[in-house]
Amino acid sequence: MKTLVRLAAACSLAFVAASGALAQSNPYQKGPDPTVSSLEAARGPFAVGSTRISSSVSGFGGGTLHYPTAPGSYGLIAVAPPFIAQSSSIGWLGPRLASHGFVVVLIDVNSTLDFPESRSRQQLAAIQYAINQSRSASSPVYNKVDATRIGLSGHSMGGGATLLTARNAPTNIRGAFPLTPWSSDKNFSRLTVPAGILACENDTVASNTSHSSAFYNSIPASTPKAYYELRGESHFCPQSPSNNPVIGKYIVSWMKNFVDNDTRYAPFLAGALPQADLASRRFSALRTSGL
């Protein structure tokens, strides 16, 4: 009996050691195990700081940097605003993403009338700005940006810019999550960056047939992709606080899974958990591929 007890104890210790080794195998994994409630909460586990970016900065119109205050290196996410608006219209995304362990550059554009092609160039400029800030000892994000792990998001024409940036400049870009994207360029057959598209059922500005759904269909099957459509919502659904819990859950999970390579978040992107949002009528449509 004592031999069996010792054997069981040894096996248990071996299992714990193996689990610990697996947990340490991904150096980018940060924070506690995710749950539906933790991902739908207004804030994640990291305390967040922020600093304004001057409108006189080169290449884009300024904005805000949000970042975890805890020491360490984090993936970078660049978020572009919608047509005739600036970053304040989707300002909740900055601290929300940062509180889950990302540096976020929430950009203002040079002109609110800029189209996706211009917004894409400004998104790239904002990425380089954040990387440069991480190299400056006087910056609050000093040594906080991992320039090899970048994510993209944006709303409306900012979402179109996100797809263009992901398609045209994929180096070090690990994931894209556009929100009700608008773009006159419909061909994303060369997109290799994993892309999750958040659409809204009653979008009359960027109709899903000619925008979000068309973009999803054009992305090759070899690229991980998803289409999440919120039931009964308009083009401006990312600006409505009532949608923050569900949008926040999916964008955080997408970035954690692809930018941080944290597979703990994979179940929130495909399978039973998104199907539950479809069954509860939170979603009007759901499509995934390669997840």
SS3 72: coil
Annotated active-site residue 155? The verdict is no
* Residue 156 annotated as catalytic: yes
Q: Which residue is catalytic, options 203, 260, 262, 277?
A: 203
DSSP 182-220: --S----TT--S-EEEEEETT-SSS-TTTTHHHHHHHS-
Write down the catalytic residue from 134, 212, 235, 262. 235
Element (H, E) at 51: strand 48-53
- CB neighbours of residue 72 within 10 Å: 12
Q: CB under 8 Å to 280, separation ≥6 — which residues? A: none
* Nearest-angstrom CA–CA distance, 231 and 221: 25
Query: What DSSP state is assigned to residue 26?
Result: -
Q: In what order do the strands lie in the sheet with 145-155?
A: 48-53, 63-68, 102-107, 74-80, 145-155, 173-179, 195-200, 225-230, 283-289
262 is catalytic: no
Q: What is the H or E stretch that residue 104 is in?
A: strand 102-107
| Residue located via tokens 């006159």 | 184
Active-site residue (options: 87, 120, 134, 156): 156
DSSP β-bridge partners for residue 288: 226
Distance, in Å, from the CA atom of 57 to the CA atom of 36, rounded to the nearest integer, reads 39
Tokens standing for residue 135? 């190299």
With left for phi above 0 and alpha for psi between -120 and 50, is residue 129 left, alpha or beta?
alpha
Any idea which residues carry the catalytic annotation?
156, 203, 235
